[in-house]
Chain A
């Protein structure tokens, strides 16, 4: 340190200056708002100053005192070598004494380093000795560090970290047996307001952070920065891996993923979605902060360590996503794809925050790749879903003209989809959307959004499939009942959910018309003929007309009581409108013919008939209950 030698003349004055400078540094250092750079400058200055003190001191006190200092420090270090307990477990004074000793060794080495250049023999020997003690101390510190990191790992209940998240849909993913009630509340979505520090937790007991930091600074000062980083990285990496397994993330190979049953995979995906969120938003954010707390003063080491710690876990998580995105695009996967897409899109900013300063943007590009791939998979699946509907073929007519499982499936499926409306709109508009802070805010959930168009297109595919299915019925009336039932169901579903917004009133009005049309067509197909039998065409006798009418009515009753209109309101409406068509005609017929003494031919009173009409479309249960009539 040539500058300092020329700078001062008297020892006393020099000491005062240095002490004052050190004091200033200390005060400055207590300021919390310092930037990393500035803090580093301060630390450097500090160490320079201490070196200056030593040098000047050594000059004053001479070589023997340096030796004494080293011996003292050596004693302290070696004392612990034979002690089985850990220094940092033995109390703060012990720890700070040890650090003090290591610092002394360091300063001794610096002093000797200045001297031994031009001086051989004793100082050099002393320097080597100091080096040895330093190595022992460093090795010890590394151990202590390991121990602190392992022992004082904060464990916290994951349950305490809760994200406002969507209600987990219980969704029956097969074409058969889809209950109506399963999809109830699809609108509880989160667009959680995000504060960057919201989820940061203490990975290590915060009380120990100064300890770790002191180990770090002493190891860095002694040139053992690599050792510190390796030990630190190794330990934190393990910890992160442990968190992954605590989140029940199993390491699956891509092969495994592709060969798994969907149910299992679906579970894994749910776990993944949760894990990704927690790992990135909680653990990695905390890890980054932790790295910064410990290593922020030492240049770029903190971001290097952070990347090394997080890489393997991030890649594992991304690879799972890649593996899922590979798979065949069955309709039931859409929701999981969207879940995955949304969670990543949601975490996009967090990731940017974590990895933006890092020169190596490899992680980010991989992240974007996966996001893109998942988006594409979701859209492909969505479009594939329509294909699946178009291709769903039946050989046999669906019994009783009830609501076809396909209809239920499709409508429930798209009702569930409305919860993902924003994302789907975004993806349909542009398969590779630019992620903004408020993604999807400006695309409205309207009938003319891309999503609205696609949904209507899906239902029209469904309709044409249903029309195809209806052609399988031999009875034209049942064909109409079937279509009426199914279209009515669709309309009800649309009206009763968020779908309303996507389909628009126009669609509802049109489809209301459609099923009413089918109701009318049914009446025409069944009852026009039956009623026409009552008409006096001048050729058939009254008796014959009565007989024919009764037979026809009986046939209709026998057959159509077995048909089913599951919706009570709809059933009632149709019964009433049928009554209104048939009963007046029958009354009129009775009124005209009562005079002719035709009572013996008349099988039913109009009241009987009205009652019987109420038995129609009740389905199998009704026909069993009323079987006594016939």
Chain B
């Protein structure tokens, strides 16, 4: 790949320049640079995926195109791009811009796409499960054929597992294939209608049952990709502000990554996958993606001929080995010829290696896909908040006023009961009959703060509580377990009743309200201040993240699986 292709193309530059002229903001110089960086990073990252630096000569090194570790890198790249995109989105513009056309529409399209990607994540995750089931069958094959010398029995055992494995992977995107039901009827009818063939292999076992576990019945991966692509129009220069481009680019990246996952891993209903997604060629960042897409496309076409389950390199190799091992098993006669059994032994070793790789890679891949899921969910929330905020600024001054006028936390207006009333004596009637209940009740009440004394008269079922307490608290504690009635509430010592004062208070309500309004306004100011704070904090965090990315350090520490990934694949870091 020539180095120049990784740079934003001339055309790309032009369109950016034009944007700059349209949006005459002071910030736009910066924004432009950001955009250019963003595009270049995407180009770079995908370029590394397209041609892994070292391992081109050794075909089965485990790092090759469409292998498990390659997919894991792809997912990593997606996560990096997504983080960078979000940083650009949230920092690069003021909210009011985001909530105005065309960005508002583009962003909400983007969000819809993201939601569709969630379903794909789930489906792919189910696909990984089904590959794991194949892996388990392959492990049986390995453990059967590993034994030396190989006897007829073990060969038969292997054959059984092999045919289950192969039929499992042959069951692919065809809609009406419900292996599970076939299997069930088989289980019941197996002995009932003794139709000769006693030892049918469990060929119908259908390991890809997991597919139907995860997604809805009529769900189609291909259709999902297709609907992700709808509305994905190349932004015209005239209407694009700085952010229109990143939204468009990120959409393409997302669709591509999902598309590649669907192609690599068995998913429900993938027919026509190839035709659903095209990236326009005129963009610099797109070259590498298009390159990869073409490469995957070729594989896909081969696959369609072979009827293979997924493009995942390990799966393809497993199928191939499975085929030749089944031939070996079919032709097996005891005692085995040395040449043949040596060949088989090599194949078994390879199969064992694949199983090993799957064992190590599939679950982490699944977790990464889950991480993508969660990331998309989080980002979606953040962007929606952003959109909301933008709209809020424009339209809802009244709403803000209303809210704050009424709702400044009432807590402040209500001093505690004890502060208002001083020490209280509360007499309660409790539906209690025995000492245990009494103890329980006393214990419940004694947990409250400010209690001076508690006494219980079992004869009259009266509980007397004295202290700086809120009668409501006392009652609510007790009501959980017993029927409770308040008999009297009063000051603990015979103090002057301030009933009169309270009445005054009532009459003054009107005035009080006026006074409160003033207070509320003050509070309003406070609230706004507080509201901004978390926003700024978020910004700072994102800024830090963003800078991290620009320093080519795409691994923020919070991803638990990353630790594993970098340990296992020394190349994992090389992407970025």
Indicate the member of B126, B363, B403 with the most A CB atoms within 10 Å: B403
Q: Cβ of A513 < 8 Å from any Cβ of B?
A: yes
- How far apart are B524's CB and chain A's nearest CB, in angstroms? 13
Contact with B along A417-460 (1 / 0, CB 8 A): 00000000000000000000000001011111000010011101
Contact with B along A471-509 (1 / 0, CB 8 A): 000000000000000000000000000001100111101
Further pairs besides A251-B215, A254-B118: 5, Cβ < 8 Å? A84-B194, A85-B191, A127-B151, A387-B399, A448-B416
Contact with A along B168-207 (1 / 0, CB 8 A): 0000000000001000100110110010001100100100
Q: Please name all residues of chain A whose beta carbon is closer than 8 Å to the beta carbon of B129 when the two chains form the complex.
A: 311-312
Q: Please name all residues of chain A whose beta carbon is closer than 8 Å to the beta carbon of B380 when the two chains form the complex.
A: 326
A507 to B509, CA, bound (A): 12
Q: A5-13, A33-41, A130-138, A171-179: which one contacts chain B?
A: A130-138
> A residues bordering B, Cβ < 8 Å?
81-82, 84-86, 89, 127-128, 130-136, 138-139, 142-143, 146-147, 150, 223-224, 226-227, 229-230, 234, 237-238, 241, 250-256, 258, 311-313, 315-316, 319, 322-323, 325-326, 360, 362, 366, 369, 373, 386-387, 390-391, 442, 444-448, 453, 456-458, 460-465, 468, 500-501, 504-507, 509-510, 513-514, 516-517
- How far apart are B268's CB and chain A's nearest CB, in angstroms? 10
Cβ of A128 and Cβ of B334 under 8 Å apart? yes
Cβ of A254 and Cβ of B115 under 8 Å apart? yes
> B residues bordering A, Cβ < 8 Å?
115-116, 118-119, 122, 125-126, 129, 133, 136-137, 139-140, 143, 151-154, 156-157, 160-161, 180, 184, 187-188, 190-191, 194, 198-199, 202, 205, 209-210, 212-217, 219, 224, 334, 363, 367, 370, 373-374, 377, 380, 396, 399, 402-403, 405-411, 414, 416-417, 420, 447-448, 470-473, 475-477, 502, 506-507, 509-510
- How far apart are B473's CB and chain A's nearest CB, in angstroms? 5
Q: Please name all residues of chain B whose beta carbon is closer than 8 Å to the beta carbon of A258 when the two chains form the complex.
A: 115
Q: Please name all residues of chain B whose beta carbon is closer than 8 Å to the beta carbon of A457 when the two chains form the complex.
A: 406-410
Cβ of B476 and Cβ of A501 under 8 Å apart? yes
- How far apart are A266's CB and chain B's nearest CB, in angstroms? 19
4 closest A-B pairs by CB? A131-B153, A84-B194, A135-B153, A128-B151
Cβ of B126 and Cβ of A391 under 8 Å apart? no
Contact A460:B153 (CB < 8 A) given known A326-B115, A513-B509? no
Interface majority SS (helix, strand, loop, mixed), chain A: helix
A338 to B265, CA, bound (A): 37
Cβ of A131 and Cβ of B414 under 8 Å apart? no
Indicate the member of B188, B194, B213 with the most A CB atoms within 10 Å: B213
Q: In the complex, which residue of chain B has the Cβ closest to the Cβ of A244?
A: B213
- How far apart are A232's CB and chain B's nearest CB, in angstroms? 12
Cβ of B153 and Cβ of A133 under 8 Å apart? yes
Q: In the complex, which residue of chain B has the Cβ closest to the Cβ of A390?
A: B402
Contact A369:B374 (CB < 8 A) given known A461-B402, A461-B403, A464-B402? yes
A230 to B396, CA, bound (A): 60
Q: In the complex, which residue of chain B has the Cβ closest to the Cβ of A505?
A: B472
Indicate the member of B137, B202, B510 with the most A CB atoms within 10 Å: B202
A86 to B192, CA, bound (A): 9
Q: Please name all residues of chain A whose beta carbon is closer than 8 Å to the beta carbon of B472 when the two chains form the complex.
A: 446-447, 500-501, 504-505
Contact A461:B180 (CB < 8 A) given known A150-B188, A456-B414, A504-B414? no
Cβ of B191 and Cβ of A255 under 8 Å apart? no
Indicate the member of A323, A444, A445 with the most B CB atoms within 10 Å: A444
A507 to B470, CA, bound (A): 14
Q: In the complex, which residue of chain B has the Cβ closest to the Cβ of A226?
A: B140
A387 to B402, CA, bound (A): 9
Cβ of B411 and Cβ of A386 under 8 Å apart? no
- How far apart are A89's CB and chain B's nearest CB, in angstroms? 8
Cβ of A446 and Cβ of B119 under 8 Å apart? no
- How far apart are B361's CB and chain A's nearest CB, in angstroms? 15
Cβ of B470 and Cβ of A138 under 8 Å apart? no
- How far apart are B455's CB and chain A's nearest CB, in angstroms? 21
Contact A237:B209 (CB < 8 A) given known A131-B154, A311-B129? yes
Cβ of B156 and Cβ of A252 under 8 Å apart? no
Cβ of B414 and Cβ of A506 under 8 Å apart? yes
Q: Please name all residues of chain A whose beta carbon is closer than 8 Å to the beta carbon of B122 when the two chains form the complex.
A: 253-254, 315, 319
Q: In the complex, which residue of chain B has the Cβ closest to the Cβ of A393?
A: B398
Q: In the complex, which residue of chain A has the Cβ closest to the Cβ of B516?
A: A460
Q: Please name all residues of chain A whose beta carbon is closer than 8 Å to the beta carbon of B199 when the two chains form the complex.
A: 81, 139
Cβ of A504 and Cβ of B410 under 8 Å apart? no
25 CB < 8 A contacts A-B: A128-B151, A131-B154, A136-B153, A136-B156, A147-B190, A226-B139, A227-B140, A230-B133, A234-B205, A251-B212, A253-B119, A258-B115, A312-B213, A315-B122, A362-B363, A366-B370, A390-B406, A446-B470, A447-B470, A453-B414, A457-B406, A460-B407, A464-B405, A505-B471, A506-B417
Q: Please name all residues of chain B whose beta carbon is closer than 8 Å to the beta carbon of A238 when the two chains form the complex.
A: 180, 184, 209
Q: Please name all residues of chain B whose beta carbon is closer than 8 Å to the beta carbon of A313 when the two chains form the complex.
A: 213
Contact A513:B506 (CB < 8 A) given known A444-B473, A445-B476, A460-B407? yes
